[in-house]
Amino acid sequence: MMELNTFSIAARCPRTGQLGVAVASAVPAVGAMCPYLRAGVGAVSTQSWVNPYLALHVLDRIGRGERAEAALSAVLAADDRADLRQVGLVDANGAAAAWTGSGCTEEAGHRRGPGYAVQGNMLASPAVIDAMAEAFEGSAALDLDERLMRVLEAGDGAGGDRRGKQSAALKIVDREDYPSLDLRVDEHTAPIAELRRILTIARRQLVPFVAGMPRKHGPAGALPDEVSAMLLKPPGERPGAVSDPSGEARTTSPQDQFAPVLAEIRKLRELDLTEIHPPIIFDPSLPYRRVPHD
């Protein structure tokens, strides 16, 4: 069990029915520990002193027909340290529930509304939660991935985790048992800005690929020709190609860029230069002495 002092949102899109979680923290790999989603059931973020079973059992209960609040109350009642937990969730109907235990590190709190719950602990101030909620409520016309991203950016802009920044994640499920989007920044000095950059690329390269994957209730099929053609190109030649800090498009990996230099080094190593210059051998067992200078 790890203490994740974190800010997050669990939300549902009323237009598409998609469920999502976005989360950021000053510990590595927050996306591997906090978000739990189940298509057609709900989305949960479990944080502070993380207990993944709270999220798993909540989703089980909601899947059996319990309401979000009742499911959360039931799993917390069975936890011997509920005071250390923080949980936010939303079900497939948009009903939200949240809990912040009295033992969560201050500043800690949550806020919920139609289709969302935002929560955080060890925050810079209560303004972080307010900024996140306002960002979600004020972006109803946008797609869920953009709304979640703006919520993280709003929380970050209001101070975020008071210890600093390290990781961030954004995960969405639609109708399939696999995520429609699952992006993570596991260790970075500006994880939310990096997550925004990755999302921009994913929309052009990953989302079309996932859209062509086999469906649970349909023919497996194959990727559209244009998507296959796009993915056969090197990353630097695809839509939304990454740029380096100089602004130039990334066309090759660092290893590829240095390949000519490495080839030249290998060639030099293969040359026999003993006729030009005898080998110089350093023997540490010999009594080398410094030659004094005038």
> Cα separation of 199 and 196, whole Å?
5
Q: Which two tokens stand for residue 104?
A: 């969560």
Q: Is 40 exposed, middle or buried (0-12, 13-18, 19+ CB in 10 A)?
A: middle
Q: What is the mean pLDDT of residues 267-285?
A: 63
Strands 19-25 and 85-91: unpaired
DSSP 8-state class, residue 247: S
User: Among 104-108, 144-148, 254-258, 270-274, whose mean pLDDT is lowest?
Assistant: 254-258
94 with 179, same domain? yes
122 with 63, same domain? yes
Could you write out the DSSP letters of every residue in 141-161? TS-HHHHHHHHHHHHHHTT-B
Q: Tell me, yes or no, whether 292 lies in a domain.
A: no
Q: Tell me, yes or no, whether 68 lies in a domain.
A: yes
Over the chain, what is the mean pLDDT? 86
180 with 266, same domain? no
Q: Tell me, yes or no, whether 293 lies in a domain.
A: no
103 with 179, same domain? yes
Provide the percentage of residues in the chain whose pLDDT is more than 90: 67
Q: What is the mean pLDDT of residues 233-242?
A: 73
145 with 206, same domain? yes
Q: How many structural domains does the chain have?
A: 2
Q: Give the three-state DSSP class for 184.
A: strand
pTM (predicted TM-score): 0.79
> Cα separation of 176 and 173, whole Å?
7
- Dump pLDDT digits (tens) for 131-174: 999 999 999 999 999 999 999 999 999 998 777 789 999 999 99
**pLDDT reported for residue 221:** 66
Q: Which two tokens stand for residue 158?
A: 């209001």
- CA-closest candidate to residue 38, choices 171, 206, 217: 171
Domain limits for position 76: 3-211
